[in-house]
Amino acid sequence: MPDQPPEQSQNLTLYVGTAGMSVWFSRDLGETWERPYSESGMYLETRVWALSTHPSRPGEVFAGTDSGIYRWREAEQRWTHLPGPLDTTCTWTLARRKDDPNVIVAGTQPAALYRSDDGGVNWRQLPAQFATECIFVHQPRVTQAIFDPEQPDTLWAGVEIDAIHRSRDGGNSWDRLDQGLISGDVHGVTVVRTPAGRVLFATTNKGLHRSDDEGESWQMQTLDSPWQYTRSVGARADGDGTLFLTNGNGPPGSTGRLLRSRDYGATWQNAGLPGETNSTPWCFASDASAPQIMFTVTNLGELYRSLDGGDSWTKLKREFGEVRALAIGVAAGA
């Protein structure tokens, strides 16, 4: 591992969203941490399910919680609650449009999708229809929603438990896509541009799935791993074909692996987190301003850092309780 982080790392802030301890901030790549107290605008023991930063808004992060949407601005040094229909739901996922940070989509439990076109001031519920009951989590939830990186009017949503949903018109109409899925318990979805075309990946409780036809059909991609449970999947921020996948023996699980692909998801290998994890790796983060700096965290709070794009990893001293979200943002003024 490199002895020194890249110079641009001085401009990064790492955010960790916890289930009961609000949001923690690190401005030195995870070496030290701080948590704004309740007087900053967010209750100190808030459950945080989702975090979102945007490259055009340095020093800003949005948090989806069990009591609505909150916005942190570094210049103000406080959380601002953005009141609206999300106040009475748990916000499980947040996505911001690449070319317009004011356009935000939020996914909730009970399963619903909301859209804001003014930075979270006003919200409207999108006409997506989801299942209303779930044997595992009682009320289905939207575990991930994303704007398509190449088609900004296309939205993808994974629902636990109700398969994958796609909108081609910014959320005004939706199609449910489940052909070939061996489980409708969808945790994550991502779109990857490969030399041969576009590929979609979806993670489920029973395995990783791949689609080569824009989600119309899916095939399970068996992993060379003791477990097929998968949670998060996505590309490193430089887009060079390196993907990462969190894999373990369940939620929260007692052990797991971070997997890496160097060939756009065709094959997967153990990324080599040191030691044995205390639970399933849950999510990971990298930022386009410094893509060689990466973090991943387990569901029960073990944090790992890579300074070489995922070639090697260090377990950091700081451990949290239950973690649900991880994000990297560029500092204000950077």
Which residue segments constitute the domains of the chain, with CATH numbers given? 7-330 (2.130.10.10)
The overall average pLDDT reported for the chain is: 94
Q: Which pLDDT band, with edges at 50, 70 and 90, does 137 fall under?
A: confident
Q: Which pLDDT band, with edges at 50, 70 and 90, does 133 fall under?
A: confident
- Can you tell me the mean pLDDT for 88-98? 96
DSSP 137: T
- Can you tell me the mean pLDDT for 64-76? 95
**pLDDT at site 7:** 57
**pLDDT at site 1:** 46
pLDDT digits (tens, 9 = 90+) for 138-186: 899 999 999 999 999 999 999 999 999 999 999 999 999 999 999 999 9
Q: What percent of the chain has pLDDT over 70?
A: 96
What is the distance between the alpha carbons of residues 275 and 254, in angstroms, rounded to a whole number?
A: 13
What is the distance between the alpha carbons of residues 50 and 61, in angstroms, rounded to a whole number?
A: 10
- Can you tell me the mean pLDDT for 131-138? 81
- Contact between residue 293 and residue 285 where contact means Cβ atoms under 8 Å apart: no
How far the first Cα of the chain sits from its last, in Å, is 26
Cβ atoms within 10 Å of 279's Cβ, excluding its own: 22
**pLDDT at site 37:** 86
Q: What letter represents residue 224's amino acid?
A: D
- Can you tell me the mean pLDDT for 309-331? 95
Take residue 14 and report the two structure tokens written for it.
Answer: 């790492």
Q: What percent of the chain has pLDDT over 90?
A: 89
- Contact between residue 29 and residue 15 where contact means Cβ atoms under 8 Å apart: no
Instruction: Say yes or no to pLDDT of 8 above 70.
Output: no
Q: Which pLDDT band, with edges at 50, 70 and 90, does 307 fall under?
A: very high
